[in-house]
Amino acid sequence: MTDWSRLHHAYGTAEDIPGLLDRAGSDPQDSSWDGLWSRLWHQGAVYSASYAALPALTGMARRWAPQDRQAPLLLAGCILASTDRASAGGDPRVTYASEVAELARLTEEALRHPGLAGNSADYVYLLSALLGFEGIGVWSEELDGLNDEEYEVPCPACGAENFIVIGEHGFFSTVDSMYMDSDAGRRVPLQPRSPSSLGGWA
């Protein structure tokens, strides 16, 4: 039995977490999810209560149909992907190994569900969660740039901010932040590269 009074979240002791989990567990759209996100994954930071909530989030995802389980999967994925763990305790992948494995399986199942077809944003969010469960470094936190249709990347040579645009405005790189205007500055088309020639995030 978890003693939530000994755990902490972003705003203090975690005694309110069981009530929020109970209410959230009854409905994927319940407003309690906002409270859970702000307490357990506050601006990317996680806490001792964040990891303690993983079994409950896993249980919700297990009970709900694939098309309804995004709320617990996404929160759990963000918790596990966080690198801001100042007061979160030990390695959650050891302590909660069985939950992490089940969360990954449930996410893969949700990604294959026909109801996700045509919803690229939800697909990207679920894929980010899966990367978090699998411990795939930076992409578990940065993949959602695909939904924003751009990445801001500093030039390694001069430090200028580049916008890597992927979406309705085209597929190119530019230093013009107003690239969506028709008379925007120079655009450099994106070109495929061999993965073996890439560094950094690759």
Q: What is the mean pLDDT of each run of 10 residues along the chain (202 residues)?
A: 93 96 92 96 93 97 94 95 73 92 97 82 90 81 74 81 83 82 78 77 46
Q: pLDDT value at position 109?
A: 96
Asked if the structure places residue 202 within a domain, the reply is no
Q: Is the same domain home to 79 and 116?
A: yes
Asked if the structure places residue 119 within a domain, the reply is yes
- The total number of structural domains that make up the chain: 2
The CA distance from 94 to 100, in Å, is: 9
> Of 125, 142, 159, which closes a domain?
142
Cβ partners under 8 Å of residue 111, min gap 6 = 123, 126, 127, 130
Long-range contacts formed by 125-129: CB under 8 A, 24+ apart: 125/70, 125/74, 126/70, 126/73, 126/74, 128/74, 128/77, 128/81, 129/73, 129/74, 129/76, 129/77, 129/78, 129/103
Q: pLDDT value at position 140?
A: 62
Structure pTM?
0.79
Q: Domain residues for 173?
A: 149-197
Q: Is the same domain home to 110 and 55?
A: yes
Cβ partners under 8 Å of residue 64, min gap 6 = 28, 72
Q: Is the same domain home to 130 and 189?
A: no
Burial class (CB within 10 angstroms; exposed 0-12, middle 13-18, buried 19+) of 108: middle
Asked if the structure places residue 78 within a domain, the reply is yes
Q: Is the same domain home to 114 and 156?
A: no
Q: pLDDT value at position 156?
A: 79
Q: Is the same domain home to 111 and 65?
A: yes
Q: Is the same domain home to 56 and 133?
A: yes
The CA distance from 163 to 125, in Å, is: 21
Q: Is the same domain home to 157 and 138?
A: no
Q: pLDDT value at position 76?
A: 97
Q: pLDDT value at position 185?
A: 72
Q: Is the same domain home to 17 and 74?
A: yes
Q: pLDDT value at position 104?
A: 97
Q: Is the same domain home to 43 and 103?
A: yes
